[in-house]
Amino acid sequence: MSRDLAELPTCTRCALSVSRQRVVVGSGPSRPALVVIGEAPGRHEDEGGEPFVGRSGRLLFALLEGEVGLVRSDCFVTNVVKCRPPANRTPSRGELSACRPWLSEQFEVVKAPLVLVLGNTAARAVFGFNEGIGVTHGRVVPWGNGRGLATYHPAAALRGGPSVVDVMRADLRILKSLAELK
């Protein structure tokens, strides 16, 4: 871990440091097959300190295994915002920009050929998209030395049902084709 990242668990760069229980740094190998980036920790993640350990995570990793053939231990998993926003609200612009240097530090340390970004907020933050996820999902973009794409957040699929899951599956098949092309 770089010296800066060693300070992440005690970060006070924004007001989420007051309400959070734990900073959810992220976890996985430093040379993963895939980096997965979500929005922000929820209640279970705030309690346990690990990203995507609740219902969203179960759906996400079931879809990834089914469509791409990757399991959680193949992935480095993190969020654009490392602390839980109260009541799981969308992170503010200030919170996103306060947290951005941590993600940049992680990109310095963790190198992967592929990135998967989940949901509108993370897709805008990571890829700089101006349009919403309904337009940008499945769009292949260069990322570091590799490539990536965004899809719907699994929480949106839990709310939206099979039609959203079907779109996620199709996006993940694009991701798989990128893995096979490399």
- Interface residues with ligand URA (CB under 6 A)? 38-42, 45, 51-52, 56, 79
CB of 54 to ligand URA, least distance (A): 6
Residue 148: C-alpha distances to residues 37, 41, 126, 172 (Å): 11, 22, 10, 11
CB of 139 to ligand URA, least distance (A): 20
Both tokens of residue 58? Answer: 């179960």
Residue 2: C-alpha distances to residues 7, 107, 110, 118 (Å): 9, 11, 11, 26
**Residue nearest to ligand URA as judged by C-beta position:** 38
Taking the C-alpha atoms of 90, 15, 99 and 42 in order, what is their torsion angle to the nearest 10 degrees?
Answer: -40
Q: Which is nearer to ligand URA, 86 or 177 (CB)?
A: 86
Beta-bridge partner residues of 76: 35
CB of 149 to ligand URA, least distance (A): 16
CB of 45 to ligand URA, least distance (A): 4
Say which residues have a Cβ less than 8 Å from residue 127's Cβ, sequence separation at least 6: 117, 136, 141, 143, 148, 150
> By C-alpha distance, which of 77, 128, 136, 129 is closest to 100?
128
Length of the chain: 182
CB of 83 to ligand URA, least distance (A): 11
